[in-house]
Amino acid sequence: MIAIDQLTFGYSGNEFRLSIPRLRVALGEKLAVIGPSGSGKTTLLNLVSGIITPERGNILVADTELGALGDARRRDFRIRSIGFVFQDFELLDYLNVLDNILHPYRITSALRLDGVVRERAEALADRMGIGDKLKRWANDLSQGEKQRVAICRALLPGPRLLLADEATGNLDPRNKGRILDLLFDSVDAHGATLLAVTHDHELLSRFDRVVDFADFLPGSVPVTNRNVFPSPRPFDGDRLDPRSVPDRPTGAHIRSRRIGPQRGEG
């Protein structure tokens, strides 16, 4: 579903560098991305969604080379194929909850808004526990409610790829489990792929695999000494080739390992 090769990226004006020699995410896989603040997790999601473009290297999403698309087609591809739950939600203050959830349908001709979609939006909001807030302004919601609106908006078009940036971060434990169930159910129902940045280490066992950005920050503790994972396994060489990791890291590099088979637990 995602194939990244020889990717490098930096922002102008600071020293941060993201370097990903190789990363594969399989169709239907649920991948958790962890790592310290500032290690480039959000940057990775922005690159995968085509919001920003790499300096060098290739990003293939659903067999589409993002770099080969112009800005308009990349945007249409993103709206049609990718659901993105942003870390800061990015709700529109001048729209109510329902119109925020329906927003993707209003900004591209690639999605068609009709009565069925509206009903699905309302049903989704119901299941997220915000069905009684559809007419509220986005501004008048709690952080947890905003987060659930953002999740509804990302899920409604039934995207093939769901990117979630700390999507359970602002939720209380009860809602956290419930929302994660909904996220996973929705991903399974569409055969979609999930890439989720999370700080909730107790949720990691529900994912198929974990990528840890910390292991590639300069001066980091070697992976084998870390105790983050419930059942550490060797690197998955097929998905990220350790040989292609540079000797001298200049920023965040990533490596991954499988933690399954624990799907459905917890």
Q: Does 41 bind ligand ADP (CB under 6 A)?
A: yes
Using the rule CB under 6 A, is 235 a contact of ligand ADP?
A: no
User: Is 39 one of the binding residues for ligand ADP (CB under 6 A)?
Assistant: yes
Give which of Mg ion, ligand ADP, none residue 235 binds (C-beta under 5 to 8 Å, depending on kind): none
42 makes contact with Mg ion (CB under 5 A): yes
Give Cβ neighbours of residue 54 (< 8 Å, ≥ 6 apart): 7, 8, 9, 47, 67
* 43 touching ligand ADP, by CB under 6 A: yes
Q: Is the dihedral of CA 225, 227, 229, 233 positive or negative?
A: positive
Complex with ligand ADP: residue 182 or 252, whichever CB lies closer: 252
Relative to beta strand 82-85, strand 2-10 is unpaired
Give the nearer residue to ligand ADP in terms of CB position, either 31 or 124: 31
At closest approach, how far in Å is the CB of 161 from Mg ion?
18
How far apart are the C-alpha atoms of 77 and 242, rounded to whole Å? 31
- Burial call 237-249: b when 16+ CB within 10 Å, e when fewer: eebbbeeebeeeb
Say whether residue 225 binds ligand ADP (CB under 6 A): no
Q: Based on the shown chain and the rule CB under 6 A, indicate whether residue 40 belongs to the binding site for ligand ADP.
A: yes
Q: Out of 3, 8, 16, 99, point to the residue binding ligand ADP (CB under 6 A).
A: 16
SS3 75: helix
Closest to ligand ADP by CB, 101 vs 204, is 204
Scanning the structure block, which residue is given the tokens 């993707």? Answer: 104
- Considering only the stretches 37-45, 72-80, 132-140, 145-153, report the one whose residues sit in contact with ligand ADP under the rule CB under 6 A: 37-45
For the CB of residue 40, give the shortest distance to Mg ion in the complex, in Å.
8
Q: How far is the CB of 106 from Mg ion (least distance, A)?
A: 27
Contact call for residues 128 and 151 (beta carbons, < 8 A)? yes
Q: Per the structure block, which two tokens stand in for 181?
A: 């169930």
| Number of residues located near ligand ADP, criterion CB under 6 A | 11
Please give the backbone phi and psi of residue 244, each rounded to the nearest 5 degrees, phi first. -90, 5
Across the chain, which distance is largest between two alpha carbons, in Å?
A: 56
CA 67 – CA 9 distance, rounded (Å): 13
* 38 counts as binding ligand ADP under rule CB under 6 A: yes
Contacting positions for ligand ADP (CB under 6 A):
11, 14, 16, 35, 37-43
Contacting positions for Mg ion (CB under 5 A):
41-42, 87
